[in-house]
Amino acid sequence: MALIVALVVLLYRFAFLSDKYISNNYPNYFIAHAGGAIDGIKYTNCLEALNLSYSKGCKLFELDLTLTTDGKIVAQHDPPGITEAEFMSKPIAGKYTPMNMNAINLWFQNHPDAILVTDKTNDPVRIYNEFLFRDRVIMELFTWEAVDKAIELGIKPMVSENLILWDPHIEQTLENKNIEYICMSRVYGIPGNENLLRRLKKKEIKNYVFHLEQDVNGKPAEQYVWNNEMDFCYGMYANDLDLLDSLVTAKSKYK
């Protein structure tokens, strides 16, 4: 009897969460952080990570775009401190394929339902000029000047946490600029701002939470956020895409 009651409570809770906060279009809620983890390794920004995350149903892919010493864009969490040619000649973690702008454009050309989410770069003009699929890019940006330039160019901005926390009129600012996306750290930005995020969510401003590297209560942070925090988060920067994979697989079984 106790087991039956527990199952009923669990099913009720999941149904309530799904109906109130989320739809079943699961890929909308997951951004593959730095391409997503591969073989337990995070932040690779590599070709193999993109392919693996895509195979699990992901459609949104964050890449850290930094510059080589000769001024070329590459996918690397920190500036590599070498030329583009040197960067492309050295496998990531000794075995994965590095990506420059040509490789990034080719991958998105071959995956026409995929969307690029940028990090690190604050230069919408350069992305406008170098990324071939301008209708399939969201840029996390760190100054209002860059946000305004992205809007002018027709690029969707994602307003970074640093702008949100220092603007006492942030709700009005986001509405005035018709902002659709923001991102906040689960560790630093969200605590104490949950009610703000709930109000923004009601206004259809989508908050993607990051800093999900550490397990929470013995479970992957992605699972914890999905089960407990989707009332004030719209989605997440996920390292582990197994949760998305399981949701998409379960959905396909019951079509």
What dihedral do alpha carbons 138, 143, 149, 152 form, nearest 10°? 70
Other C-beta atoms lying within 10 Å of the C-beta of residue 96: 18
Closest alpha carbon to 221 in 236, 201, 206: 236
Backbone φ and ψ of 92, nearest 5°: -70, 130
Predicted local confidence at residue 24, as pLDDT = 61
Angle at which helices 101-110 and 47-55 pack, to 10 degrees?
20
Instruction: Kindly give the confidence (pLDDT) of every residue in the chain, 255 residues in length, as a single tens digit, with 9 standing for 90 and above.
Output: 554 444 433 333 333 333 344 456 899 999 999 999 999 999 999 999 999 999 999 999 999 999 999 999 999 999 999 999 999 999 999 999 999 999 999 999 999 999 999 999 999 999 999 999 999 999 999 999 999 999 999 999 999 999 999 999 999 999 999 999 999 999 999 999 999 999 999 999 999 999 999 999 888 999 999 999 999 999 999 999 999 999 888 765 544
Predicted local confidence at residue 35, as pLDDT = 98
8-state DSSP, 219: B
Structure tokens at 103: 């490789």
* Cα–Cα dist 137/158, whole Å: 10
Predicted local confidence at residue 248, as pLDDT = 82
Task: Provide the residue ranges of all domains of the chain, joining segments of one domain with +.
Answer: 26-253
Closest alpha carbon to 186 in 121, 133, 230, 245: 230
CATH level 3 topology of 26-253: TIM Barrel (3.20.20)
| HEC assignment per residue over 7-70 | HHHHHHHHHHHHHHHCCCCHHHHEEEHHHCCECCECCCCCHHHHHHHHHCCCCEEEEEEEECCC
The number of angstroms, rounded, from the C-alpha of 71 to the middle of its chain's C-alpha atoms is 25
56 and 113 in contact (C-beta within 8 Å)? no
